[in-house]
Chain A
Amino acid sequence: MGELLQSSDGAIRLADAAMRSGGGRMVLLRLAIPAVPNNDAEQLGLATPGFQDVALGPATFHKANSVTKLLVSASAVHEVLGSLGFDSANVLFETAVGLFFDGLLYKITNSYSSQAIGVPYCYWLTLEPPTR
């Protein structure tokens, strides 16, 4: 265990294993499809946006009082960052439309990471349920 924590990669694997054994599940991060460049219709609200769902997991929920937080594996987030070309996880979560699971779309109101040796091993997302 001590050796595993010596590298940031080890911390990520340890976090993934803990989340999987603790009932981690997959959630879908909903992102807007890139708009058409230099298109006035896009900027005037005349275009129909498209969306894509990206799977993130393992992820586990943490609920304290009325605040719902989601703990997401950093390995899953980093994979999405690489494949979709985002600069950082913050940008990814700020531009996401929300998180989709159990048939509901939750808004992401805040995000931060837990780090080991300066490298994130998991991300915390504060979620707001849809108003009914």
Chain B
Amino acid sequence: MSYHLPVILFLLPFATAICMPMVGSRRRRWCRPMALTAVFAMCVAAVVNLWIVVEHGETRYAFGGWPISTSLPDAPLGIEWVNDGLASVMLVALSFLAWLCLFYGGPLTLQSLGAREVLYYTLILLLISGLTGIVLAGDIFNVFVFLEVAALSAYALVGIPGGRALIVAFRYLILGTLGASFYLLGVVFLYASTGTLNMADLAQQMADKPELMTSKAVIGGTTFMFIGFGIKMALFPLHGWLPGAYTRAPDSISPLLAALMTKVALYGWVRIMFWVLGARAEIGQVHVLTLLGGLGALAAVVGALLALSQEDVKRMFAYGGISHVGLILIGVSQGNSTGFAGSMFYLINDAVMQAGLFFIAGAAIHQHGTRTVEDLSRLRQSPWLIGALIVLALSMIGIPPTGGFFGKWHIILGAIEAGNYLAVAAVVVATVRALKMHGGVEISDLGAENVDAVRRGCVNLERHLRNIQKYYLMWVEK
């Protein structure tokens, strides 16, 4: 039974999604309880699964009993699912966030949907099962299929409100499909040069035959895969689809998308990077991790800058998410366990924060009609809402008792360990920007301080933290 747990985790939302139209067409009121029950069962199963993995170590699921990577050097013929420490933790985060988003979404959507409510819940459950599949898959083609299952449901969900949402959904679809096609192209290249799709087998072959890592097919294939994942995770130059999609998506859907879509794509890239290519991979003479770190630093700083200039609350949070993807990449690319652990912690932490921020944005729009940053002061009427926003913002900045601190702290420690002070500077700049983005302070008086931050790097962190608190209090009092 416990061996089958990963598949049960996937089947819970998937089977419910398939049953939903059958039940829902006759009894529409059952849809929401059904979806909530299925995802709640998924949460329980994910926790049990995590406990089993912690107690007994990782398991590998072989579909149909075909040989998988455990039978190497025999060819792994079957599809493999890997249920290791990282995957099981991700699954717990994923299922709990999905349940919260479902629970939150109810009262916001029902009135406008009518009979389409059935399809709405079907799509959400399909999205969740697609994401579960990406987390568990140990086979690069399997990842492609689940990426598309999740993405197709996401396109449809973004387009629900009609009007402008349809345009951004269409753009999201065009760019998302482009990303998936690039990923598939990468899979074809890797398959053509190694003859296998299994991640563990690929890694084994890369280790056995060093000439593979310098072959143009593997380098090209990996680059295409990275571009594909880059579009899906909204890495800075490829982020075009994200702000519009998250802003225009229904208020009940944007938390789910913001928390999970980009993070799971990032997780997919981390799998390929560390479980297939290995941390020492090089393109030409350049270390892949160095490239990643550079891209991450760029995304972290530019995303934060763009977030500053936004008027719309949801759009501002969306750009914040782009910046955080960069932060996570910085930590991953330090090539030591401190940075990696910090990044993975920050990844889950950021999923929770993004969900929380979009929950608040939705509630603010629903209750107070607040759409712009200036209007946020109207939230004063509901102390719980503004209190939650402050706690979340503190976490985004990284004030010690909150989760954001530990993630950022370890990313910075990892960067210092690797002697990479540019990365430290980027994290700090992104942090300083984040604090201003929430402080609602005038943009004009920010420039000088940032130059400072870059120069002095980590030493300044503490002072900035104090500044943050100061700005915070100012804002609250205002």
Q: Do A and B actually bind?
A: no
Binding site for A on B (CB under 8 A): none
